[in-house]
Amino acid sequence: MTKQLVLFCDFDGTITEKDNIVAIMRHFHPPGWEELTEQILTQQISIREGVGKLFSLLPSSLEHEITQFAVENARIRPGFAEFVDYCRQENVTLLITSGGIDFFVHPILAPFQLDGPIYCNGSDFSKERIKITWPHTCDEHCQTDCGMCKTTIIRSYDATGYTRVVIGDSITDLAGSRIADFVIARSFLLEKCQEENLSHKPFTTFYDVISIIKAIRAKQEGIVL
């Protein structure tokens, strides 16, 4: 029996061309954001701790301005709309697994009318400083304090019944890539896949992703392209 294909697609730097959290911090430039970002990237602090601290640097009174900036400045990677259509037409399960925040992830993705769930972090603007909430934390198998735990979501799709493919670009995708069956990678994640000899293919646009997914499905069905 052919395993069902399920895709776990990152958002920042994958669906969008740039990381929206970094773009927000660079634009509003709260003191200390660069040091915190470096600590996250070098894994000196956890992603949950780092992202929480980053947004606590910003006042909640900027909610409208920050949201507007994020939505207006996000650039969608070429081919994403066609990729969504392909998954819909071919009944390929597509999940968005994002370390981003709901206040910009949901409005940016709204035009695509996705069928599957969007997993991301939450936000609370009710206090003086922005607070990030964590509705998808790590299970008992993950000790890395991810915030939005991609490995927990991946593990909910049993490897005996699913071919699990991660699509991503950054440190937030690395742990999930290590337990997935295949990785479609760019940027930092691509370097790590090469270093760790993970099964992967590189991508630049979602047209590349479509081609790779077609090849995976053909291999599952014993078709030689």
Q: What is the CATH number of the domain that holds 109?
A: 3.40.50.1000
End-to-end alpha carbon distance in the chain: 21
Q: Do 131 and 120 contact (CB within 8 A), yes or no?
A: no
Which band of pLDDT confidence, cut at 50, 70 and 90, is reported for residue 144? Answer: confident
Domain assignment of residue 69, yes or no: no
Domain assignment of residue 66, yes or no: no
Domain assignment of residue 186, yes or no: yes
Domain assignment of residue 128, yes or no: yes
Domain assignment of residue 155, yes or no: yes
- Among 206, 209, 194, 11, smallest CA distance to 99 is for 11
Domain that holds residue 118: 4-17+75-221
Q: What's the mean pLDDT in 159-164?
A: 96
Q: What percent of the chain has pLDDT over 70?
A: 98
pTM, full prediction: 0.93
Domain assignment of residue 40, yes or no: no
DSSP, collapsed to helix, strand or coil, labels residue 120 as strand
Q: Do 163 and 6 contact (CB within 8 A), yes or no?
A: yes
Which band of pLDDT confidence, cut at 50, 70 and 90, is reported for residue 41? Answer: confident
Name the domain count of the chain.
1
Domain assignment of residue 107, yes or no: yes
Domain assignment of residue 148, yes or no: yes
